[in-house]
Structure 1
Amino acid sequence: MISQTTEHLFSFEEYLAYDDGTDNRYELVDGKLELMNPPTFRHLLIADFLQDNFKAEIRRVGLPWLCFREAGIRTGWRKSRLSDLYIVPVEQVRDFLDRSAVTEIPPLLAVEVVSPESINRDYRYKRSEYAALEIPEYWIVDPIDSKVTVLLWEEGLYEQTEFTGSQQIISRTFPELAITVEQVLAAGNIS
């Protein structure tokens, strides 16, 4: 469940500086702060698995990229979303090391892991906001429906491909990455 904290409309700059003295995390949606629920453990385990694989591939290929978890993406004038993972070039953060971890330049790849309360947010709202930014690749990892949807920016809109089961996930950002949907979803389990 998401709750709005106030009727005051925040500017993006006010959002970056906002501190309510708690560890609460907020997204900025049309100038309003929306309190984000803590993720599920399954959600965290899947995000950890993907982050480990992305970082390993970045190192293996020697790419000048960084992978961040739960950092922000400015998606509009009074909008900022917290992404589960994103990939950005090193130079995109070099001059902003001491600022809030919210990129104002679209990342190369964004990933959202679906939780029961985030279905509409991940499939609908973030998809349209990420499309407006022309983020080149957007993954929606859905452990509820046992699939990974990869959206690639093509000629002004997202072309989507759904992967399930033992299918290897095809990524334009990481063309040599060899992981399957089963591996991603299994990461959300503890044996």
Structure 2
Amino acid sequence: MTAVDDRPTTTNIVKIFENLEVPEGFKVELLRGVIVMMAGPDVAHNDIVEAIQDQIPRQRWRRLQTQDIAMLEETSEPQPDLVVVERGAGPGHGRLMPSQVITMLVEVVSKTSVDRDYVVKRSIYAAAKVPAYLIIDPVMAQCVLLTEPTGEGEDADYRCQRITKFGDITPLEPVGIELDTSEFESYEKVRPHRYP
């Protein structure tokens, strides 16, 4: 008698993910073969995303919210808080934006996403060779800009890391702006963490 392995394969998990019915008010992502579901974000989170989007010039950049990203080698389809793509690059239709055309991804840390944003997604985005990954952290009132992706798979990382505090100007060379963070609010009554 032959044993049958009925664990989901990479192909099956992607199909399950793509056909998943997500309850209203929840966000779902596929991160290295793991389906992650999260409740909707804090208002401070959304205000920060809006402030960033307003500062990135629309004439040159597409600033896409809730856009799923295709990172097939990673068995990942994350949904960053903001995706920045040069105007004219990438598809005009469809659910997935290929990682190869992305200039910068932005994640605003939530109270429950610290490890995912600082560790898991950092590695996934570096493995996909996304040129810049900006982590906005209302827990620690800081911005972390990661550039120069290197490595493969779970060993991938960014060579350069620049940390600025909320209230300071944050240079974003990949998109040619200096980000004003003076409007960014920190979360209240949240335990500090140890990242980056």
* Contact in 2 for aligned 1:92/1:105 (Cα 8 Å): no
Larger radius of gyration: 2
Shift of the alpha carbon at 1:167?
Answer: 2.2
CA distance, structure 2, for counterparts of residue 151 and residue 30 of structure 1: 20
Aligned to 2:97: 103
Match of 1:93 among 81, 91, 94: 91
3-state SS of 1:83 partner: coil
Counterpart amino acid of residue 28 in structure 1: L
Question: Which residue of the partner structure matches residue 159 of structure 2?
Answer: 158
The answer to whether residue 181 in structure 2 is matched with residue 181 in structure 1 is yes
Which residues of 2 match residues 83-162 of structure 1 at below 5 A?
Answer: 83-89=80-86, 90-94=88-92, 97=93, 99-100=94-95, 102-106=96-100, 107-153=102-148, 157-162=158-163
Secondary structure of the corresponding residue to residue 159 of structure 1:
strand
Q: Is the 8 A contact 1:45 1:188 kept in 2?
A: no
Give aligned pairs, total: 170
Match of 1:12 in 2: 14
* Residues 134-186 of structure 1 deviation map (CA, whole Å, 9 limit, x = unaligned): 111110001110110111116663300001144211112222x2333323x14
Give the Cα separation in 1 of the matches to 2:185 and 2:68.
27
Uncovered stretches (5+) of structure 1, i.e. residues with no partner: 1-6
Change (3 A) 1:26 1:180: same
Provide Cα deviations, 1:23-62, integer angstroms capped at 9, x if missing partner.
Answer: 34311133342212211111111111111222xx232xxx
Stretches of structure 2 lacking an aligned partner (at least 5 in a row): 1-6, 152-157, 189-196
- Structure 2 Cα separation of the partners of residues 166 and 38 of structure 1: 26
Query: Deviation of residue 15 (structure 1)?
Result: 3.2
**Alpha-carbon distance, 1:187 to partner:** 9.4
Q: Which residue of 1 aligns with 2:58?
A: 58
Alignment correspondent of 1:71: 67
What is the RMSD computed on CA atoms of the aligned residues? 2.5
Q: Alignment partner for residue 44 of structure 1, among 39, 46, 51?
A: 46
Structure 2 CA distance, aligned partners of 1:91 and 1:116?
A: 33
- Kindly indicate whether residue 168 of structure 2 is the aligned counterpart of residue 172 of structure 1: no
Distance apart, 1:66 and its partner CA? 0.9
Give the structure with the larger helix fraction. 1
Using the TM superposition, give the Cα deviation of residue 75 of structure 1 relative to its aligned residue in structure 2, in angstroms.
Answer: 3.0
Distance 1:22 1:134, change over 3 A: same
Q: Which residue in 2 is equivalent to 1:82?
A: 79
Deviation at residue 91 of structure 1 after TM alignment: 3.0
Contact 1:86 / 1:111 at 8 angstroms: preserved in 2?
yes
Task: Give identity over the alignment, percent.
Answer: 22
CA distance in 2, matches of 1:80, 1:21: 15
The alignment partner of 2:171 has SS state of: coil
